[in-house]
A = this chain, B = another copy of it.
Amino acid sequence: MVSEVIEDMLKRMQSHPGVIGTVIINKEGQVIKSTLDNTTSLQYATMAMRVCDSSLGALRDIDPTNDLTFLRLRTKKHEIMIAPDKEFVMVTIRASTDGA
């Protein structure tokens, strides 16, 4: 059931224009499913966990009852979207766009 949900998420994400890859990781930072190669998936999993942890920490320093629901990083080379959920974190890498 869970794997069906994940497969469905992956398929939906990959159909979006400009999407380079999607990595789904569990709360321990392990890659569960990915459309990218192992090395790249692991790199993005590590990156996402680091960004999520520090953002959540910084956020809760201001308000301990707050929670992170979505994170979007626009970089010079591409856009990285991180969606933390109860059990999984979905990381999507998309080709950079010039719009706001």
Residues of A bordering B, CB below 8 Å: 43-44, 46-47, 50-51, 54-55, 57-59, 61-63, 65-77, 80
Contacts and interface: CB of A to CB of B under 8 A. Distances in A.
Contacts of A74: 68-72
Given A50-B54, A54-B50, A54-B51, A59 B73 contact: yes
A47 to B, nearest CB: 4
B51 A58 contact: yes
Total copies of this chain within the assembly: 2
Contacts of A67: 75-76
A54 B53 CA distance: 9
B43 A62 contact: yes
Contact of A76 (B54, B69, B73, B76): B69
